[in-house]
Amino acid sequence: MAESNIWILASEGDKEAVSRLISEGASPDSQDEHGYSLVTAAVSWGHFDLTRWLVQTAGANPNIRDEDDETPLFCVENLKGAQLMIELGADVHAINDDGQTAAEKFHEEREHPDIAQYLSSVAGIPLPPLSDDDDDEIVEGPGFLTEDLVEQAGRIVEATERDGQNRDEELRQLVTGAVMQTLEKVPIDQAVYQYEDSENSTAVGLNLFLRMIEISELEYVLPISSREFGTITYREFGSSACTTDSRQHQQNCRAKMPQPLYKDLTKRTNDLLTKEYPSDTKFDFTRKTNQDGTIEGNVVFRKDGPLVTLTPKYKFSVNGNPSSALLELTTKKDLKAEVTFEPTKVQGLKLIDTAFVKDDEINATFAAEYRIRRVTANASWEPRAKGHTTKAAAVFGFNDFSLGTFAEYFLGKQEQTFKEIAATATYNTPAYDIAAFAQLNSRGQTPKTEIGAKYFHNINKVWAFGGEAVFDATTPEERPKLAIAAQAKPDSETTFKVKVDGSGKVTGSLQQKLASNLKLTLSTAVDTNRFTHFSLNGTNNVGVQLSLLD
């Protein structure tokens, strides 16, 4: 697995690695392509210190939803995990797609009765009696997992993680033989068997490789854990269990990833092309003040003197609704105050109010974000003395495809116009991203219509490559704007990046982890147009950034 797989790191309890990736730009609410969140990964695998850190320090949402509308509370594996999630603000009344609360789900599935009773008492709602008829009764599999099979499959998984080679067929043949031997001992009437890890059946997430095995008229779904094999059981269903709804019900906490906001549609390409290329000398730090507060700061050394910025942040709750506030102060006497509010009664909604003081002028922005299944939307309104600006964006997605739209409209006393209209289509997989976009921009004196494409490829554990090309359709005689970049991470502490643009400018950077909480980034840029007879007539700034992390 690539080290940058933040969900596996969270499921393994690697707080240092998770903290590093979040400090480098990963969202604490990151979800994989199945909707598996960091909080779910940490709490379901019993890493409670990491779970607490993600919510209280990193700002992760304890009520983040997957496509089945299930929160991490639905995925806890023991009573301690449930108690921690309630302490961290989990909504015990949250309902999934099947109309169940977490307590009702555990109760009806007859799993973890202690968790069901605890959540029921917290909610103040008694659980109904269960009937004796339970079509989903779990029975022990008849000798499917022999010691020899576990050993053989374990060697295959370990070899795959070690060298990255595809051994699907080898694993398929091994498991097929074992399944067929098992089925010879079981009466079959076109039933569907689903094998699953009984120890972690709802929380395996990205730590599972789902192998589909088709034999005759039967389908098998075998989750193979990259860390260990659990005691495998099987469920016997009627033929109606082949429906899509039933499968989704069985894929607890493995829902598809919610769509990103418009600004994050091409995040990996943008990060590769823009992040970690400091042009100034800069020092920044992050410090935890208490379990709900942090303070961030940075000092940028410029020719006109140092610019110091301090940003204290604080998380709190208003009648059970997660909220946060920050205050940004600079030595230029600029000020920014921001408050966010997430009403639990409207899942997926976030309200953001921001006030600015700059150059003795006070302004405000009012914004909202809304995330539901396959759609995300955000809008903002910026009232100003010269006129009001309204921005709106939406992203619609299905599986790996996303389509985003954005518009900015200015309503002034003497001017009413769209400042920008844009659309972006993307195809994203864990290995690569492909995007095409078009935008009409009228902010400058001459309106521009631009079309372009972006690409990112995670080649292997060490190398990544990406680039973008932008064409100005209003002036087709001009050369397109091009930029390509490559990144190498030979180990977890070192990152090299180099970027080349169409103007001949080459920018390189080195990021080195000096200690567990100290990171140094060096960057320089060279204009190749200034090379004459193998000599360099000038270079751009050399940037230095030192980061102290909590």
**Is position 68 within any domain?**
yes
Q: How far is CA 483 from CA 498, 503, 522, in A?
A: 11, 9, 20
* Contact partners, residue 163, CB within 8 Å, separation at least 6: none
pLDDT value at residue 182: 57
Using the predicted structure, report yes or no on whether residue 10 has a pLDDT greater than 50: yes
pLDDT digits 0-9 by tens, 412-425 = 888 888 899 999 99
* Contact partners, residue 121, CB within 8 Å, separation at least 6: none
Q: 463, 456 in Cβ contact below 8 A? A: no
Q: 148, 175 in Cβ contact below 8 A? A: no
Rounded CA-CA distance 106/85 in Å is 15
Residue 406: name the closest of 262, 226, 518, 214 by CA.
262
**Is position 1 within any domain?**
no
Helix (H, G, I), strand (E, B) or coil at 51: helix
pLDDT value at residue 288: 81
Mean pLDDT in the chain?
77
Rounded CA-CA distance 198/187 in Å is 22
Mean pLDDT of 78-83: 91
Residue where a domain terminates, one of 206, 228, 250: 250
pLDDT digits 0-9 by tens, 188-207 = 333 333 333 333 332 222 23
Rounded CA-CA distance 113/109 in Å is 9
pLDDT value at residue 389: 93
What is the CATH classification number for the domain harbouring 160? 1.25.40.20
CA neighbours within 13 Å on the CB side: how many for 522?
Answer: 5
CA neighbours within 13 Å on the CB side: how many for 322?
Answer: 21
Q: Which domain holds residue 140?
A: 6-250
**Is position 504 within any domain?**
yes
Provide the token pair at 437: 């976009």
Considering the domain architecture, whether residues 237 and 367 belong to the same structural domain is answered as no
pLDDT digits 0-9 by tens, 387-405 = 999 999 999 988 778 999 9
The residue ranking higher by pLDDT, 406 or 290, is: 406
Considering the domain architecture, whether residues 286 and 388 belong to the same structural domain is answered as yes
CA 222 to centroid of chain Cα atoms = 25
**Is position 533 within any domain?**
yes
pLDDT value at residue 137: 40
pLDDT class for 39, splitting at 50, 70, 90? Answer: very high
Q: Dihedrals φ, ψ of 435, to 5°?
A: -140, 145
Q: 179, 220 in Cβ contact below 8 A? A: yes
Rounded CA-CA distance 210/34 in Å is 12
SS (H, E, C) 66-95: CCCCCCHHHHCCCHHHHHHHHHCCCCCCCC
Q: 195, 213 in Cβ contact below 8 A? A: no
Considering the domain architecture, whether residues 287 and 310 belong to the same structural domain is answered as yes
pLDDT digits 0-9 by tens, 510-544 = 999 898 788 999 998 888 776 554 444 445 568 89
Q: 52, 67 in Cβ contact below 8 A? A: no
Considering the domain architecture, whether residues 403 and 476 belong to the same structural domain is answered as yes
pLDDT value at residue 532: 52
The residue ranking higher by pLDDT, 460 or 193, is: 460
| Other beta carbons within 10 Å of 32 | 20
Count of domains forming the chain:
2
**Is position 426 within any domain?**
yes
Rounded CA-CA distance 251/253 in Å is 6
Considering the domain architecture, whether residues 224 and 345 belong to the same structural domain is answered as no
Mean pLDDT of 341-367: 88
Rounded CA-CA distance 169/499 in Å is 39
pLDDT digits 0-9 by tens, 206-230 = 233 333 333 333 333 333 332 223 3
Helix (H, G, I), strand (E, B) or coil at 142: coil
* Contact partners, residue 255, CB within 8 Å, separation at least 6: 34, 35, 66, 67, 68, 70, 248
Residue where a domain terminates, one of 250, 275, 306: 250
Residue 234: name the closest of 344, 371, 139 by CA.
139
Considering the domain architecture, whether residues 161 and 283 belong to the same structural domain is answered as no
Rounded CA-CA distance 116/121 in Å is 9
**Is position 443 within any domain?**
yes
Which amino acid type is present at position 323? S
Considering the domain architecture, whether residues 37 and 14 belong to the same structural domain is answered as yes
**Is position 15 within any domain?**
yes
Considering only the C-alpha atoms of the chain, give the largest distance between any 2 of them, rounded to a whole number of Å. 88
- pLDDT-wise least confident of 1-10, 280-289, 366-375: 1-10
Considering the domain architecture, whether residues 234 and 277 belong to the same structural domain is answered as no
Considering the domain architecture, whether residues 284 and 198 belong to the same structural domain is answered as no
Considering the domain architecture, whether residues 103 and 197 belong to the same structural domain is answered as yes
* Contact partners, residue 514, CB within 8 Å, separation at least 6: 520
What is the CATH classification number for the domain harbouring 341? 2.40.160.10
Q: DSSP letters along 510-525, please?
A: EEEEEETTEEEEEEEE
**Is position 442 within any domain?**
yes
Residue where a domain terminates, one of 250, 275, 310: 250
The residue ranking higher by pLDDT, 290 or 334, is: 334
Considering the domain architecture, whether residues 494 and 364 belong to the same structural domain is answered as yes
- pLDDT-wise least confident of 122-136, 140-154, 281-295, 316-330: 140-154
Using the predicted structure, report yes or no on whether residue 435 has a pLDDT greater than 70: yes
The residue ranking higher by pLDDT, 321 or 3, is: 321
Which amino acid type is present at position 133? D
Helix (H, G, I), strand (E, B) or coil at 315: strand
Considering the domain architecture, whether residues 243 and 269 belong to the same structural domain is answered as no
Provide the token pair at 514: 């000096």
Taking the CA atoms of residue 143, residue 230, residue 233 and residue 160 in that order, the dihedral angle to the nearest 10 degrees is: -80
pLDDT class for 100, splitting at 50, 70, 90? Answer: confident
The residue ranking higher by pLDDT, 149 or 92, is: 92
pLDDT digits 0-9 by tens, 481-497 = 999 999 999 987 899 99
